[in-house]
Amino acid sequence: MTGRAIMLQGTGSDVGKSLLVAGLCRIARRRGIDAAPFKPQNMSNNAAACPGGGEIGRAQALQARAAGLQPSTDMNPLLLKPEGDRRAQVVLNGKALRSEEAAAYMANRGSLLPIVIEAFDRLRSAHDLVIVEGAGSPAEVNLRKGDIANMGFARATDVPVVLVGDIDRGGIIASLVGTRAVIDTEDAEMIAGFAINRFRGDQALFEDGVRFIEDRTGWRNFGIVPWLACAARLPAEDAVVLGQAKPKDGAILIAVPMLSRISNFDDLDPLRAEPDVEVRFIPPGQPIPREADAVILAGTKSTLADLAMLRNEGWDYDIIAAWRTGAHIVGLCGGFQMLGNRIEDADAADGLAGSMDGLGLFDMTTVMTRKKVVRPISGTTIADDDAVTGYEIHTGLSQGPALEKPFSRLEDGVLDGAVAAGGRLIGTYLHGVFASDAFRSRWLEKLRSGRSSTLNYEDGVNTALDELAEGLEEALDVDALLALAR
């Protein structure tokens, strides 16, 4: 039996499609419906490793979790990982296919639609319901030819669409009515209705606005979702959220330079969830605060390019100064590579050909290779035998004396990373390590002068997903949405 499907598209990027899909997946699970998420094409450097191998966008991994499923490459068959302003790595069915200029990809992307539909059909044959997420907006008419992410996919698979708009950013009426005005008739006929996200205030004051949208578009309103506080406790996929964190008085200060190709920054979410920890993302043009208790270099899609940026910003001097004055330093994946003596990438395997000196805190050299490691993995820390669970997504092989004092022993016996100065300097290829409560608590205890953490991060994410589902049940006509699926 083939499962039914419904698709959420948006009036733009970052209108909340990803979290609404996650919430609907959790609602389906709570109702006993076997649902799975799907996104035809995603563009993000925040990727998740799948148990069967391969990588997908982390938003789809969260949606899978909400549905009670393990992530699968079928959930996001096409992932674009930006390597520069006009170039991205194309990941197809979980495997890196090639790096391509934007113009070349746009000219040929239509040829990938059959592969995308094959993945969708596999999901639909295995589940009762598939909840599809679009990308960007169907109103980008300059991108309509060859589209496989929005209406091109919806029409090819005959999946009904609900259009999501974000009222918090303003212009919601123009966004919804304007979308109807610019798309062609056949595309408009795929849209069954709309939903309004992130509403603050008295909804009664917006009733005339809803009627206006309905009259001008012919679409029905499936509901108005209020601003849900639980959404802030869930991992975000887009870097646009990094500068939105509010300062916390008297908190431990962890500084994170905002590298131009920063990736997998949700590695920091468990730290951001701690009530007495402020994770401050430092934008270009600003120094790393001298009062920072720790500096974390996150992962990056283009290590050499971001190392050059780090030097141009003067952050290399800031990090060395922080190290010399007692701050803790952590490098995650590409950030770990930057902490070594040198990085060499003769074949542009990681986005930029060349070589460059690192910060020299670890005595090691990293050589980039075409071989890419993608896998979920667990292990234990060498120093304290704390269990750590996460995933690897990286190219490059690091070698040198620093690795004689590894950070962890993985479940397959492989030694990972490096540690120095009694744990004040840590480097690891393991993404997600701070989600391991025992390790995070012990690391923060050193910064807190002996006070440990009581936060259970994974339980917190599950609680937030349940709260999201409850909020959507109240705000949306979920029965009508589910009945719409076909």
Q: What percent of the chain has pLDDT over 90?
A: 87
Alpha-helix runs per DSSP H in 295-393: 303-312, 315-324, 334-338
Residue-wise pLDDT for 281-335, tens only, equals 999 999 999 999 999 999 999 999 999 999 999 999 999 999 999 999 999 999 9
When pLDDT is averaged across residues 455-473 and rounded to a whole number, the result is 94
pLDDT band at 243 (very low <50, low <70, confident <90, very high): low
The CATH homologous superfamily for domain 239-455 is: Class I glutamine amidotransferase (GATase) domain (3.40.50.880)
The pLDDT of residue 76 is above 90:
yes
Task: List pLDDT tens digits, range 267-278.
Answer: 999 999 999 999
Average confidence (pLDDT) over 381-400: 95
Is-contact 177 217, C-beta < 8 A? yes
Q: Looking at the predicted structure, is the pLDDT value of residue 241 above 60?
A: no
Spatial separation of the C-alpha atoms in residues 158 and 385, rounded to whole Å: 52
Supply the pLDDT for residue 321.
94
Helix locations, 289-433, DSSP H: 303-312, 315-324, 334-338
Residue with tokens 């998420």: 37
- Where, residue-wise, is CATH 3.40.50.300 in the chain? 4-227+463-484
pLDDT band, residue 237 (cuts 50/70/90): low
- Residue 124 φ then ψ, to 5°: -65, -30
Residue 10 has pLDDT above 80, yes or no: yes
**Under the phi-then-psi rule, with left for phi > 0, alpha for psi from -120 to 50, and beta for the rest, what region is 140?**
beta
In the predicted model, is pLDDT for residue 242 greater than 60?
Answer: no
CATH code assigned to 4-227+463-484:
3.40.50.300
Q: How far apart are CA 216 and CA 273, in angstroms?
A: 43
Cα radius of gyration (the chain):
23
What is the model's pLDDT at position 348?
Answer: 85
Give the pLDDT of residue 278: 95
**pLDDT, tens digit (0-9, with 9 covering 90-100), for 212-221:** 999 999 999 9
Q: State percent of the chain over pLDDT 70.
A: 96
pLDDT, tens digit (0-9, with 9 covering 90-100), for 244-286: 566 676 789 999 999 999 999 999 999 999 999 999 999 999 9
Q: What is the tens place of the pLDDT at every residue in 150-186? A: 999 999 999 999 999 999 999 999 999 999 999 999 9
Average pLDDT of the residues in 109-115? 95
Please, which pLDDT band fits residue 83 given cuts at 50, 70 and 90? confident
3-state secondary structure of 76: coil
Judged by average pLDDT, the poorest of 56-70, 76-90, 209-223, 422-436 is: 76-90
Q: What residues are labeled active site?
A: 333, 431
Q: For the whole model, what pTM was predicted?
A: 0.86
With 0-12 / 13-18 / 19 or more C-beta atoms within 10 angstroms meaning exposed / middle / buried, residue 13 is middle
Q: Pick from 116, 147, 216, 207: which is nearest to 176 by CA?
A: 216
Spatial CA neighbour of 91 closest among 263, 306, 270: 263
Bigger pLDDT: 59 vs 239: 59
Cβ neighbour number for residue 346 with a 10 Å cutoff: 11
Q: 237 with 44: CB under 8 angstroms? A: yes
All residues at 6 or more sequence positions from 157 whose CB lies less than 8 Å from its CB, including other chains: 5, 117, 120
Question: Which residues in the chain are classed under CATH 3.40.50.880?
Answer: 239-455
> Where is average pLDDT lowest: 29-43, 94-108, 128-142?
94-108
